[in-house]
């Protein structure tokens, strides 16, 4: 079954658009966890979250560039078989997990530094949550401008056939570390533990053609004709990993000793202290974890995008906030539902409005009927998504899974 | 004479540059119920917060038995094994946590194992309502139930001394009296030492062994409850008794 043929028959491939909604959902879920955690524990809106995302994109990219510049390995690879799944294994420089972990640490440290230099001091002098929010806007602007100063305010392109872009690196000479021993020689086999995404595929049984895209369950829904859900292995991986991440964080937050201590600290620092909780340490851990997870997710989001810029996180900030509010502050599982609602509303709007603009479509019909030209651009999809957000909030002001108390006293 | 469970020597403390407590000596002996009373703003809450490390100690010292805890953070005091329970005046429970989680936090420094389960059962005998609503969030409790939860949380680590900051605040008069009776029964049944700050000055003094009267950060009077209750000046000025005949 050929995908191109199907798309030629049906002007708009509705089913394949679903995969875009799923991918966007996964991306939103991954990037929402950190903001939700700060919202729930620190009780203010951290607008610097956008720049955590951006820094996560940049830092994973730096790490890749630095390593590939200094350790130009060959790219021989072999397959690692685990539970019937075959992972192509490559060297450490091409391993997105390693890059994402690097981003985790870098962005996590930014979170800790923000608390140490700014937020902690503001809280000590009893600054209101509004002041903290404004400070976070300032931190975000500073980080974004610093990134622009060092890397230029232009998109970083990646080649189409290489997800992690190890080619054509140009780094300043001071980063050239070619004199030192190669990691591969010191720790032989270290790079063979984790999968890489150089080829943009995971060889999962139902994947048909990894180099183009994949077809999931093509024969299950005959009513939809011969259309297929197109998704690359990497995109599927993002969706699955986002769900695993959010469920793991939800479990940690609700059921572990650390999670209970985090929530207790959020409720009353004084009472938590007299119960034996080192609240200062809990707060630093929270910042590190929240910022780190954002950086970790941002590394994967970057790898799935054609290009990124210093505004990479900024443009995602509003949908991310929408997911937190819609899901309910402090409810990570609610975030999954909220991300699905936002992503699918966007995508359905995209489909419907595109159909409206077809010659002889609803747009033309309205023009004939009223004499006015009213455009239905698919670019309005974010507006429609926020309209749905408002409607849901009118019914459940605390969000889908949130409690009323948790939405109080937050900006 | 008993060795004091808690002793504060020449305490000077406050917030930033503001000095609130001006050289207070205070002690609580084993098994005693000691009440601190005084007008609003006299520094009662600040004094007990200083004793447990929540307010900065500028000068003086604080001892739990022989252990010097001056300038220690509250979590350091608890981790040092000081058997202390504290119930603040406001925010005395974790509202977004369930009753179960509130009680677990009361025993945060230890493992939540068999000993925790046994302690839980002992407290359920004292406060049966907590067992009934074990999985509910604390913000769903009434004022009186919250105070019970706060007391139970503070009692989880089996403390030697319980410090209570206005436990009857915002309670209806009959519930407040029940709460005071509960505090007295705790002292009698488990022999715990209790330091109580109260606005219901006369009633709490009647139930206490000793008392301190704090005015503008200084001890204006101290002694056994009987002595304090019998002094006309104190009855008029601090206990709210008009008819002294």
Each residue's pLDDT tens digit, A294-352? 999 999 888 877 777 888 899 889 899 999 989 988 888 889 999 999 999 998 888 88
Element (H, E) at B181: helix B173-190
Token pair for A248: 């793991």
CA distance A265 to chain B (A): 9
Residue A371 pLDDT greater than 90, yes or no: no
Task: Please give the Cα distance from A144 to A148 (Å, whole number).
Answer: 6
What phi and psi values does residue B108 have, to the nearest 5 degrees? -60, -40
Q: What is the mean pLDDT of chain B?
A: 87
**Which is higher by pLDDT, A85 or A380?**
A380
Mean pLDDT calculated for residue range A180-207: 39
Q: Which residue is closest to B105 within chain A, CA to CA?
A: A275
Give the count of Cβ contacts less than 8 A between chain A and B.
75
Residue A233 pLDDT greater than 80, yes or no: no
Task: Please give the Cα distance from A216 to A230 (Å, whole number).
Answer: 7
**Which is higher by pLDDT, B162 or A18?**
B162
Q: Count CB neighbours of B31 within 10 A.
A: 16
pLDDT reported for residue B113 = 78
Tell me, yes or no, if B92 comes closer than 8 A to chain A by beta carbon. Answer: yes
pLDDT reported for residue A369 = 86
Residue A356 pLDDT greater than 60, yes or no: yes
- B97/A264 CB distance under 8 A: yes
Residue A272 pLDDT greater than 90, yes or no: yes
B137-157 residue pLDDT tens: 998 888 888 888 999 999 998
Whether A311 contacts A54, CB under 8 Å: yes
The model's confidence at residue A411, banded by pLDDT at 50, 70 and 90, is: very low
Task: Please give the Cα distance from B95 to B156 (Å, whole number).
Answer: 18
Whether A225 contacts A12, CB under 8 Å: no
Cβ-based contacts of B151 with chain A (< 8 Å): none
- Domains in chain B, CATH or no CATH each: 4-88+159-237 (3.40.50.300)
Token pair for B20: 């609130």
Whether A289 contacts A183, CB under 8 Å: no
The model's confidence at residue B65, banded by pLDDT at 50, 70 and 90, is: confident
Identify any residues that bridge with A82 across adjacent strands, giving them in sequence order.
Answer: A85
HSE-up of residue A108 (Cα within 13 Å, Cβ side): 17
The model's confidence at residue B131, banded by pLDDT at 50, 70 and 90, is: confident
Residue A173 pLDDT greater than 80, yes or no: no
Does the ipTM surpass 0.90?
no
Q: Which of A25-39, A195-209, A387-401 has the lowest mean pLDDT?
A: A195-209
The model's confidence at residue A99, banded by pLDDT at 50, 70 and 90, is: confident
A115-149 residue pLDDT tens: 999 999 999 888 999 999 999 999 999 999 988 88
Cβ-based contacts of A264 with chain B (< 8 Å): 94, 97, 101, 105
Q: What is the mean pLDDT of chain A?
A: 75
Mean pLDDT calculated for residue range A16-33: 86
Q: Which of B84, B88, B97 sits opposite A270 (nearest CB)?
A: B88
N residues, chain A: 411
- B96/A270 CB distance under 8 A: no
Tell me, yes or no, if B79 comes closer than 8 A to chain A by beta carbon. Answer: yes
Percent of chain B with pLDDT over 70: 96
Contacts of A164 (CB under 8 A, 6+ apart): A64, A94, A96, A99, A158, A196, A197, A198, A303
Task: Please give the Cα distance from B113 to A77 (Å, whole number).
Answer: 49
Percent of chain A with pLDDT over 90: 32
Q: Count CB neighbours of A409 within 10 A.
A: 10
Token pair for A130: 């509004």
pLDDT reported for residue A67 = 66
- A260/B92 CB distance under 8 A: no
């Amino acid at each position: 079954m050929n995908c191109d043929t199907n798309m030629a028959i049906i002007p708009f491939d509705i089913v394949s658009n679903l995969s875009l909604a799923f991918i966007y959902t996964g991306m939103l879920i991954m990037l929402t966890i950190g903001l939700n955690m700060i919202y729930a524990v620190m009780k203010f809106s951290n607008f610097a979250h956008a720049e955590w995302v951006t820094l996560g994109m940049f830092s994973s990219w730096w790490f890749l560039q630095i390593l590939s510049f200094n350790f130009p390995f060959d790219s021989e690879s072999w397959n690692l078989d685990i539970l019937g799944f075959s992972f192509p294994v490559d060297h450490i420089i091409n391993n997105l997990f390693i890059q994402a972990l690097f981003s985790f640490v870098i962005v996590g440290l930014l979170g800790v530094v923000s608390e140490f230099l700014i937020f902690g001091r503001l809280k000590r002098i009893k600054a209101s949550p509004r002041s903290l929010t404004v400070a976070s806007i300032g931190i975000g602007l500073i980080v974004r401008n610093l990134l622009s100063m060092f890397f230029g305010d232009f998109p970083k392109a990646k080649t189409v056939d290489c997800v992690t872009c190890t080619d054509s690196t140009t780094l300043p000479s001071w980063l050239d570390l070619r004199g030192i021993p190669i990691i591969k020689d010191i720790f032989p086999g270290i790079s063979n533990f984790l999968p890489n995404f150089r080829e943009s595929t995971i060889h999962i049984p139902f994947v048909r053609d990894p180099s183009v895209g994949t077809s999931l369950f093509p024969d299950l829904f005959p009513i939809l004709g011969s259309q297929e859900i197109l998704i690359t292995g990497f995109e599927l991986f993002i969706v699955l990993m986002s769900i695993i991440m959010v469920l793991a964080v939800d479990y940690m937050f609700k059921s572990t000793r650390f999670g209970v201590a985090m929530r207790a600290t959020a409720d009353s620092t004084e009472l938590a202290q007299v119960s034996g909780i080192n609240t200062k340490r809990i707060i630093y851990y929270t910042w590190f974890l929240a910022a780190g997870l954002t950086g970790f997710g941002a590394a994967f989001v970057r790898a799935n995008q054609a290009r990124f810029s210093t505004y990479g996180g900024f443009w995602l900030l509003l949908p991310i906030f929408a997911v937190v509010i819609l899901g309910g502050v402090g409810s990570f599982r609610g975030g999954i539902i909220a991300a699905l609602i936002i992503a699918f509303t966007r995508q359905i709007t995209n489909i419907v409005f595109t159909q409206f603009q077809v010659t002889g479509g609803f747009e033309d019909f309205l023009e004939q009927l009223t004499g006015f030209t009213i455009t239905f651009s698919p670019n309005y999809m974010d507006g429609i998504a926020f309209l749905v957000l408002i409607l849901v909030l009118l019914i459940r002001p605390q969000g889908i899974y949130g409690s009323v108390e948790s939405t109080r006293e937050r900006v | 004479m008993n060795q004091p469970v808690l002793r504060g020597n020449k305490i000077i403390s406050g917030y930033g540059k503001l000095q609130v407590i001006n050289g207070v000596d205070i002690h609580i002996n084993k098994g005693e119920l000691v009440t601190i009373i005084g007008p609003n703003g006299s520094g009662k809450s600040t004094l007990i917060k200083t004793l447990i490390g929540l307010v900065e100690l500028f000068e003086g010292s604080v001892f739990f038995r022989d252990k010097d805890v001056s300038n220690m953070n509250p979590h350091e005091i608890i981790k040092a094994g000081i058997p202390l329970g504290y119930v603040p005046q406001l925010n005395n429970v974790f509202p977004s946590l369930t009753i179960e989680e509130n009680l677990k936090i009361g025993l945060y420094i230890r493992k939540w194992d068999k000993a925790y389960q046994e302690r839980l059962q002992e407290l359920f005998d004292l406060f049966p309502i907590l067992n009934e609503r074990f999985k509910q969030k604390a913000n769903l409790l009434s004022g009186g139930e919250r105070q019970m939860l706060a007391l139970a949380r503070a009692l989880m680590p089996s403390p030697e001394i319980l410090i209570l900051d206005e436990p009857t605040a915002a309670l209806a008069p009959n519930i407040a009296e029940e709460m005071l009776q509960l505090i007295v029964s705790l002292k009698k049944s488990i022999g715990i030492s209790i330091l109580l700050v109260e606005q219901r000055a006369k009633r709490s003094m009647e139930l206490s062994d000793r008392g301190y009267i704090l005015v503008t950060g200084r001890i204006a009077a101290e002694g056994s409850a009987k002595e304090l209750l019998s002094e006309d000046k104190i009855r008029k000025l601090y206990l709210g008794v008009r008819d002294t005949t």
